[in-house]
Chains A and B, each alone.
Chain A
């Protein structure tokens, strides 16, 4: 197969700002950002609690969240589909095949990633942080916030990882979004569709956007971490 021609056309599409491309890119970005914004605070808080506090059922909970991490996103999509479908328990919300359904799916996918990465960031925190804060008169909440602040790059890595995972995620997005052009077609679902139609230029162009996103967030993260050390 000729790779050069579709690649050349992919660049042309990007350069021309093809509206179908831009729509998919815009949808991917805002749904991912909204999902991360919704789930990051509770997921980071839960990750902190699971890392710091001992309570009954804590171990099984950690194992459960870790298991969710390797849960196939198509299955998560299926579950949300059943929840949101007309006859499902949340069917009255009429969210299926809307961008909100995609956000819902992303929230579920990002949740275990953020929790697990936060746990490892907090567990890697110097135990003197919390103790020093408490010695200086901080209450539990402030001392916890201080600990999170001291491991902020680890927490940022959790958030960036969650973002990177959902923006490139195809299984749940296709199941609950429906891949409707102009409404719920985002970058990965468009790549899957265009490729199956044989329109490689669109697929390559969107693929390049995703790769630039992945590269970009990781470069930013590396720079931040480099400054901390």
Chain B
């Protein structure tokens, strides 16, 4: 398996506190990872650095291909569900027919076929999370960075999101899930990364 992303000597400060100092971290292609650690350890910051949304203070971040970050509370545009699914495809210039097909597939994958007519703002927390996962998956990014996808969800929402995470794992997508949800951590076949006191274990 080849390395999709490598962090070398990546250091990040938060004010005058050292958030983390990662000597070496390699993310292998086609693997799902779960990134655990206490609140404030820098899990979100690490994901955002991998996605290119934030810069490290020092070190080298090498990511082969596109890395897409999904916010803990994902934002769905106030348009239609399908338009949300097509957004990134449109940005990449995917032709209309293909765009439509992939958007439909994404809606089906998220199990939101019955909710297609609902304004995205009116979807439940779990439905929004699934829609956001499907929206990113439809882009087939090289690396998916999911920030606490099961937090703030009810039992049913968590179970459904968990099932999608298991599917991503089975599809051999490269995924990093930051979370401290025991059910996600317990998913089989996930490599574990633990960020604590500034180091990856």
Contacts and interface: CB of A to CB of B under 8 A. Distances in A.
Are A and B associated in one complex?
yes
B69 interface: yes
Interface in A139-153: 139, 142, 146, 149-150
Contact of A136 (B53, B73, B78, B139): B139
A228 B121 CA distance: 9
Interface of B: 51, 53, 66, 68-71, 73-75, 77-78, 87-88, 91-92, 135-136, 139
A129 B77 CA distance: 7
A228 B91 CA distance: 25
Given A128-B71, A131-B53, A132-B71, A137 B88 contact: yes
A142 B53 CA distance: 17
Contacts of B77: 129, 132, 146, 149-150
B91 A135 contact: no
B51 A135 contact: yes
A135 B87 CA distance: 11
A139 B88 CA distance: 11
Nearest to A143: B91
B53 A128 contact: no
A150 to B, nearest CB: 6
Interface string A148-161: 01100000000000
B87 A136 contact: yes
A136 B88 contact: yes
13 contacts: A128-B71, A129-B77, A132-B74, A132-B77, A135-B51, A135-B69, A136-B87, A136-B88, A137-B91, A139-B91, A142-B91, A146-B77, A228-B78
B75 A132 contact: yes
Contacts of A208: none
| Chain A residues touching B, range | 10 to 19
Interface in A106-139: 126, 128-129, 131-139
Given A128-B71, A128-B73, A131-B71, A137 B78 contact: no
A72 to B, nearest CB: 39
Contacts of A150: 77-78
A129 B135 CA distance: 14
Nearest to A128: B75
Given A131-B53, A131-B71, A138-B91, 10 more contacts: A129-B77, A132-B75, A133-B87, A134-B53, A136-B135, A137-B92, A139-B91, A142-B91, A146-B77, A228-B78
Nearest to A146: B77
Contacts of A146: 77, 87
B78 A135 contact: no
